Structure 1
Amino acid sequence: MFRKITSLTSFFSFIVLIITSVVLYIVPQGRVAYWADWTLLGLSKEQWNDIHICTGVLFIIISILHIWLNWKPILAYLKKKAGEANFTSPAFFISLIITLFVTFGALAGLPPMKQVLRFSQDFKAMGEAKFGIPPYGHAELSPLQIFCKRLGLDLEQAVTSIKKEGIELESTKKTIKSIADKAGLTPKEIHEIILKDQPDKKKSLKKTPATPNNEVQSHSPGAGIGRMSLEEYCAKFNLNLDTALNILREKGVVVDKDTPIKEIAKSLGLSSPRAIGELLNP
């Protein structure tokens, strides 16, 4: 009975882990998911992550029990004959090599791990394009008065704009998320409401060119720059790819269009991927 419960629990928790892994693989970046109040099947990214972590812990515990209950069969795989451990069999080495290849290949950016990670990044980039990027990290957790102060917005006008939409606002100390939740909106939609009656701010936002330096100012807590390939980076900031490659070669760094910005920054000894902007767009 105990053995059967262990096996079935291991199986079911493994199924749940597969589902949550797929969801977390395609979910937008945290800052985007929280800003747009992203959900899938009614669950937020945080809830999917909680399920993944707790089920993962369950799977680890059950796996340990499963190994303990099946220790003799496992040892049989590693033995050539009774009493002699077989750590030189083809099966042992092939299994070990596959595991190490995937583990270290992910760190080194080797195919197909590189393509798997890039595919996930593409999904997350689609999320950014669809839901937008918050003005700064966890902006949704800022009280309205702090939010307006950080963005240089008129607080009184922001309050007027919110109330004009029929949204109840008890205090400017309420966070953007709490205001949005009460109104049945997303933090992004509250931001758009606030901007409606602040034409000067809207105009300045539209006129601001998309350059690496502007990106740092408006999205300084990380806009995924490090994960972009050089080609994606140049396309985003209207830079010439060939010129960028030549500049990097002059600095002694030989890369290609698919090299991630964080790797280029590391090769140049830069403290942050964002510093690439000053180099490629002086």
Structure 2
Amino acid sequence: MYSLRRFISLCIGFSFLVMSYTGIILFLSPKGRVANWTNWEILGLDKTHYTHLHVTFMVLFLVGMLFHIYLNWNALINYLMNKSREFSLFTKEFLLALGLNLLFLFGTLYYWVPFEQFLDFQDEIKASWEKKADQAPYGHAELSSLEEFSQRTNSNVITIMSQLNAHQIQGATLTKSIAQIAKENGKSPAQIFDIINTKPQPQSSSSGGGYGKLTLKEASIQQAFELEKALQIIHEKGFNATENSTLKECAEALHVKPIELLELLKTIQTKESK
């Protein structure tokens, strides 16, 4: 026969175990900004997953407890009876349980010993993650688009795109967030940040395959990008180029290297084809 009491008790037990596990993980986990920046995970789940699991199983636990109280109401009432079998809130067990819960309540709120030491221990654990991880340039930088990121860090957006292309980062556009680009390439936002900040290798005057001498029209044919779109982008960056302008002229006007400008323009064809 199906037993509702047994079913409810097992639901409460399972949800309690999951809540306890996720609670311990969240206790030990880094702060959100560090977890998001470094793609912190345990057993393939990130901090957001553990938070969602903790909350949903808390709901299951609470609903189960309500049914448990309903099914065991008579037994609970018996706990509130004295030796004379009279109802009384002031049994020794009731007062002890109430006192213990009040101790945890006020001890936590007012940082009594040993609650203060316990909470400090948690802060130390979370701070230790920050020491190990590379710091984001500003709060929740992973949510910024590449364009916003370049503005807030005073970086050259063309150089950023060049660096990402040089490291074969796929699907990077100025409007995508760092977190989105990182996810699509199986990396953390911190790794994308490291790529952006990688110093370009020094090049000789002959390096770059002679691209600087190419006109935009020649480069568009050779590298298969859309000429009109390239002219529009360069114009938006502040230089009125024509199809006969060389990559070197455009690059110097935009304060970047010809190869970096070319890498940016090559992304046009990629973005348009997706």
- Counting only pairs closer than 5 Å after superposition, residues 134-149 of structure 1 correspond to structure 2 as 134-149=136-151
Of 98, 101, 117 in structure 2, the residue corresponding to residue 99 of structure 1 is 101
Relative distance call for 1:170 and 1:128 in structure 2 (3 A) is closer
Residue 170 of structure 1: how far off its partner (Å): 4.2
Relative distance call for 1:113 and 1:161 in structure 2 (3 A) is same
Q: Deviations over 1:218-267 (max 9, x none)?
A: xxxxxxxxxxxxxxxxxxxxxxxxxxxxxxxxxxxxxxxxxxxxxxxxxx
Give the structure-2-normalised TM-score.
0.69
- Asked if the contact 1:35/1:140 (under 8 Å) is kept, the reply is yes
Of 104, 109, 112 in structure 1, the residue corresponding to residue 111 of structure 2 is 109
- Asked if the contact 2:172/2:181 (under 8 Å) is kept, the reply is no
Describe the SS at the equivalent of 2:59: helix
For 1:6, the equivalent position in structure 2 comes to 8
Describe the SS at the equivalent of 2:65: helix
- Which 5+ residue runs of structure 2 have no aligned equivalent? 202-274
Describe the SS at the equivalent of 2:174: coil
Which has the higher Rg, Structure 1 or Structure 2?
Answer: 2
**Structure 2 CA distance, aligned partners of 1:154 and 1:105?**
52
Identical pairs, percent? 34
Of 38, 56, 59 in structure 2, the residue corresponding to residue 57 of structure 1 is 59
Give the structure-1-normalised TM-score.
0.68
- Which 5+ residue runs of structure 1 have no aligned equivalent? 200-282
For 2:152, the equivalent position in structure 1 comes to 150
Of 167, 170, 173 in structure 2, the residue corresponding to residue 171 of structure 1 is 173
Residue 81 of structure 1: how far off its partner (Å): 5.2
Aligned residues: 199
Residue 49 of structure 1: how far off its partner (Å): 0.5
**Structure 1 CA distance, aligned partners of 2:84 and 2:141?**
63
**Structure 2 CA distance, aligned partners of 1:133 and 1:67?**
48
Of 39, 57, 62 in structure 2, the residue corresponding to residue 37 of structure 1 is 39
- Counting only pairs closer than 5 Å after superposition, residues 118-129 of structure 1 correspond to structure 2 as 118-129=120-131
**Structure 1 CA distance, aligned partners of 2:135 and 2:93?**
48
Describe the SS at the equivalent of 2:197: helix
Residue 136 of structure 1: how far off its partner (Å): 2.1
Letter in 2 for 1:106: T
**Structure 2 CA distance, aligned partners of 1:137 and 1:73?**
52
- Counting only pairs closer than 5 Å after superposition, residues 1-282 of structure 1 correspond to structure 2 as 1-80=3-82, 84-197=86-199
- Asked if the contact 1:9/1:62 (under 8 Å) is kept, the reply is yes
Q: Deviations over 1:143-166 (max 9, x none)?
A: 111011111111111111111111
Relative distance call for 1:148 and 1:67 in structure 2 (3 A) is same
- Asked if the contact 1:144/1:174 (under 8 Å) is kept, the reply is yes
Residue 117 of structure 1: how far off its partner (Å): 1.1
